[in-house]
Amino acid sequence: MLTALSRLGLEVKYPDRARSFYEGRLGLDPVSVFETAVTYEIGDSYLVLRRPSGVPRGGLHTHFAFTTPAGEYDDWLTDLSDLDPEEHTFGSYRSLYVDDPDDHCVEIGGIDGDGDGTGLTSIFEVVLEVEDIGRAEEFYTALGFDVVDRGDARHRVRLRGPFDLELWEPQLGLADARGGVHVDLALVVDDPEEAVEAVDEWATETAVVVDPRDDSQSLRVRDPDCHDITFVDADDFDPRG
């Protein structure tokens, strides 16, 4: 059912300040720029920085992670040294953590065999804050995510699909990261209507989203924790809007 992460939307207070960080420090190039939003392409996904002006707003204090080739990891550690990055090792790879100007915790993981790309090559993890782990787990496993790790004492669960999704009850994680509140995610699925049906038991709102540029449609639901989840078809949806 679920094939890719299309979009992660983050809320920023001042787009120009956010761009200075993501472009000046992380080397991203914008693919679209509007007065209240800027979009970057990272691998097969898009990162949207959005000043609140409508719905979906974009997530607050969201912890998420980029991949970079393992051979470039030490360069990132050096380049971001003035931000006092926190570093952790997970099996075969290392990750560093820094905060952006809007208190999103940005992780960069040096992954062996991460394709032939350079720089930041994908978004491989997003963390959501939830009120009830069990309920949130049911919602996201219904979409095709699988549980790969469970931290009962920390009230968290890690799910795996085309990207890793962590669900945290309110807490501070590594580097004092927090799960995102009202996060905007767009997920590519085989059949948007089937995806809506799969989570209908838990969804609090369902809406049809029409792109004014070409009248293409996608379906959006709101999960029980007020995260906006848009189900899209890669053939007729442009996440850069």
Tens digit of each residue's pLDDT, the chain (241 residues)? 788 999 999 999 999 999 999 999 999 999 999 989 999 999 989 999 999 988 888 999 999 999 999 999 999 999 999 999 999 998 888 999 999 999 999 999 998 764 567 899 999 999 999 999 999 999 999 999 999 998 766 689 999 999 999 999 999 999 999 999 999 999 999 899 999 999 999 998 888 776 655 556 789 999 999 999 999 886 655 544 4
Residue 143 phi/psi, 5-degree rounding, is -85, -10
Calpha distance 164→232 (Å, rounded): 19
Calpha distance 241→224 (Å, rounded): 25
Calpha distance 241→238 (Å, rounded): 7
Per-domain residue ranges for the chain? 2-182
- Convert the pLDDT of each residue in 94-115 to its tens digit: 999 999 999 999 999 998 764 5
How many whole angstroms from its chain centre is CA 223? 15
Quick check: 151 and 157 in contact, CB under 8 A? yes
CATH number of 2-182: 3.10.180.10
45: its two tokens: 């996904």
CB atoms within 10 A of CB 179: 27
